[in-house]
């Protein structure tokens, strides 16, 4: 169902102005600004609490700040740089936002409800340059990286969809874009997600998904990242992987696995491997045997996602019997495997689909 596309948030938008987007770097912007005005540093903590904990939509709601300060904040900073172009809800509680950025680009983000879990899935780029053949997001290539503020804003916009009793519990960076191709903006955004005076979500409940960019994976190790890492394999050998994930042409699976193992050693976080199961392409028992040989011996979970067809793309969902045989083959070889069916299929929750549909 499509619900109110215009919210209070949008009405308080300040898009197009010369004001600064506060969410781009909250501490760095607020601290000197408050100091210049003779305000105590504790005021920054008050603003943070209103934003992340008390879910304020505007400065004027921050009632423990003096009225003049709230007015000045509103004149100098904007909280929101995006507009909600479309808000969809599925019967299973999944909600999806299509956000229009200040420059007209669009990204999407999703809130998933599963018992007490409230997971958000966020985007890191407009479009994607990885070109995975089955993916709607990559069809038109990469337009640009998102800013830190635009990533944080997705989290806050999704938090605003929660009822008063609900709390965000998990973040997955699996929306539009390749997260490791935009680490400079992503890491500060995830810092806001995990800080106690941010969203307060434990790093072990935050997952970064990647097609496997070894240099960027090494950067995560060097940054002593404690987030979970999910590596999208989609194929058990280089030849097939090059066909499904064209960007991997010069990146052997062995190099990706070596960096993933290195990440596991540094972070202690169990690795996840993702495998989109495409009918007739990578779903045979032979592929499952090869995959088990590739991943065997690791402390890892294999997430298999039966493909969700995308309009205009020639790939299909594997039959139930093919799915069962694939799973059984892996389990017989000791692989920890989980089949994940996308929630929110009815609202096009697969990455990139809603954005695409809005343009056709």
Q: Check binding of 176 to ligand SF4 (CB under 6 A).
A: yes
Give me the least distance between CB of 45 and ligand SF4, in Å please: 36
Q: Is 351 a known active-site residue? A: yes
30 vs 126, beta carbon nearer ligand SF4? 126
- What is the spatial distance between Cα 76 and Cα 69, in angstroms, rounded to a whole number? 10
Give me the least distance between CB of 208 and ligand SF4, in Å please: 12
Only one of the segments 31-39, 111-119, 173-181, 261-269 lies at the binding site for ligand SF4 (rule: CB under 6 A); that segment is 173-181
Give, for 292, the enclosing helix (H) or strand (E). Answer: helix 285-295
Q: Which residues pair with 204 in a beta bridge?
A: none
Choice from 138, 198, 214, 306 touching ligand SF4 (CB under 6 A): 138
The residue from 109, 121, 128, 351 that is catalytic is 351
The residue from 108, 150, 153, 178 that is catalytic is 108
Q: Which residues pair with 305 in a beta bridge?
A: 276
DSSP 137-176: TTTT-EEEEPPHHHHHHHHHHHHTTS-TT----EEEE-SS
Q: Report the site for ligand SF4 in 188-227 (rule: CB under 6 A).
A: 211
Q: Check binding of 108 to ligand SF4 (CB under 6 A).
A: no
- What is the spatial distance between Cα 184 and Cα 203, in angstroms, rounded to a whole number? 18
- Tokens 């985007």 locate to 123
Only one of the segments 8-16, 175-183, 317-325, 330-338 lies at the binding site for ligand SF4 (rule: CB under 6 A); that segment is 175-183
Only one of the segments 10-18, 125-133, 198-206, 213-221 lies at the binding site for ligand SF4 (rule: CB under 6 A); that segment is 125-133
Task: Output Rg (C-alpha) for the chain, integer angstroms.
Answer: 21
* 3-state class (DSSP) for residue 110: strand
Q: Is 108 a known active-site residue? A: yes
- What is the spatial distance between Cα 78 and Cα 88, in angstroms, rounded to a whole number? 25
Active-site residue set: 108, 351
Contact residues toward ligand SF4 (CB under 6 A) are 128, 130-132, 135, 137-138, 176-178, 211, 351
């Amino acid at each position: 169902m499509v619900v109110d596309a215009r919210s209070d948030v949008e009405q308080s938008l300040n898009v197009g102005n010369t004001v600064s987007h506060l969410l781009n770097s909250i501490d760095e912007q607020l601290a000197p600004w408050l100091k210049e005005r003779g305000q105590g540093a504790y005021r920054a903590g008050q603003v943070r609490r209103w934003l992340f904990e008390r879910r304020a939509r505007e400065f004027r709601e921050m009632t423990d700040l003096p009225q003049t300060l709230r007015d000045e904040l509103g004149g100098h900073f904007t909280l929101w740089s995006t507009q909600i172009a479309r808000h969809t809800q599925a019967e299973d509680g999944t909600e999806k936002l299509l956000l229009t950025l200040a420059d007209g680009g669009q990204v999407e983000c999703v809130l998933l409800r599963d018992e007490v879990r409230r997971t958000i899935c966020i985007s890191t780029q407009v479009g994607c340059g990885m070109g995975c053949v089955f993916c709607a997001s990559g069809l038109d290539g990469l337009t640009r990286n998102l800013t830190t503020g635009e990533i944080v804003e997705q989290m806050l916009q999704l938090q605003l969809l929660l009822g008063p009793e609900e709390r965000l519990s998990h973040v997955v960076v699996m929306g539009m874009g390749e997260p490791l191709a935009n680490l400079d903006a992503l890491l500060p955004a995830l810092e806001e997600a995990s800080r106690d005076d941010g969203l307060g979500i434990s790093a072990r409940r935050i997952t970064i998904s990647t097609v496997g960019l070894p240099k960027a994976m090494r950067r995560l190790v060097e940054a002593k990242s404690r987030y979970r890492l999910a590596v999208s394999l989609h194929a058990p050998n280089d030849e097939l992987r090059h066909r499904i994930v064209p960007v991997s042409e010069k990146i052997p699976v062995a190099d990706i696995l070596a960096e993933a193992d290195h990440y596991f050693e540094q972070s202690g976080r169990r690795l996840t491997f993702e495998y989109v199961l495409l009918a007739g392409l990578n779903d045979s028992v032979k592929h499952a045997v090869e995959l088990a040989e590739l991943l065997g011996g690791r402390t890892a979970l294999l997430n298999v996602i039966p493909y969700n067809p995308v309009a205009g793309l020639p790939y299909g969902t594997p039959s139930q019997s093919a799915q069962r045989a694939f799973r059984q083959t892996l389990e017989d070889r000791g692989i920890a495997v989980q089949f994940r069916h996308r929630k929110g299929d009815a609202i096009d929750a697969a990455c990139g689909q809603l954005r695409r549909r809005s343009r056709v």
